[in-house]
Copies of this chain bind each other. A is one copy, B any other.
Amino acid sequence: MSQAKITKGRSKSPGAETVGESSNQEVSRSPTERPRLRDAERTSKAILSAATKEFAEQGYGGARVDAIAERAKINKRMLYHYFGGKDALYVAVLEGSYVAIRSAEARLDLTHRSPTEGMRELVVFTWKYFLDHPEFLGILSTENMHKARFLKRSARIFELHSPLVAEISGLLDRGAAAGDFRPGCDPVKIYMSIAALGSFFLTNRWTLSTIFRRNLSEKSEIDSWGEHIVEVIFAYLRP
């Protein structure tokens, strides 16, 4: 159920919507529908969206059910009505977050580009997605602090990621064949490197800004790091 909401109606900009808010907005935009007062779907989405932010910002333990209810502008009781409890809500948020990024990624269509262009597209997309969805990184951080105890329960999470690995694999093979990339690269390692460079900068910029006395939240620093990631990855792939 939560899935539907996340993946539907996204046209060009791949990583633009905040998790759990996109379709909701479409509904409210639709001119024929009046904003219903008793709208189960809307309420449920508002909860998921608010929960995503709260969990991302506060972590699982730090997140407050009351705060989620307040952010979602709903009665706390509804949260239990729709999701059953804090745990189940968190799992919904977690799965929804992965579905959202993988869905956006899937729309990149890397197969029809040159290996170099495809790889650049993937790197840039990932960086932009991380940048536009701070909640996603927050959720990952939280989940890893708990050693993925909730994610492990999810059966379909591996299947969700197979296409990504396949696609990167394809890029690397084609790139190696064309002499653009050096052969023998592990697609998972490549993806992890891209993610590492992007994720670390964004999640750790607060302490990094402090210890290096350098405001890494400035646009120039952010843009510069985005280019840096591309350079690092391509330096590594260079034959």
The interface of chain A, by Cβ under 8 A from chain B, is: 57-62, 98, 138, 140-148, 151-152, 154, 157-158, 160-161, 165, 188-189, 192-193, 195-197, 199-201, 203-214, 225, 228, 231-232, 235-236, 238
Contacts and interface: CB of A to CB of B under 8 A. Distances in A.
A196 B201 contact: yes
B207 A143 contact: yes
A144 B204 contact: yes
A95 to B, nearest CB: 11
Contact of A228 (B57, B154, B189, B228): B189
B144 A206 contact: yes
Contact of A148 (B59, B142, B148, B207): B207
A180 to B, nearest CB: 15
Nearest to A200: B196
A52 to B, nearest CB: 15
Contacts of A225: 189
Q: How many copies does the complex hold?
A: 4
A213 B156 CA distance: 11
Contact of A200 (B161, B192, B213): B192
Give the one of A146, A208, A210 with max B CB within 10 A.
A210
A64 B143 CA distance: 18
A200 B197 CA distance: 8
13 contacts: A59-B61, A143-B206, A144-B206, A151-B206, A154-B210, A161-B211, A165-B212, A189-B228, A193-B228, A193-B232, A196-B200, A232-B235, A235-B238
B228 A232 contact: no
B158 A210 contact: yes
Contacts of A58: 61, 145
Given A161-B212, A196-B196, A200-B200, 15 more contacts: A57-B145, A58-B145, A59-B145, A60-B62, A61-B61, A141-B145, A148-B209, A148-B210, A151-B206, A151-B210, A158-B213, A192-B200, A192-B208, A195-B204, A232-B235
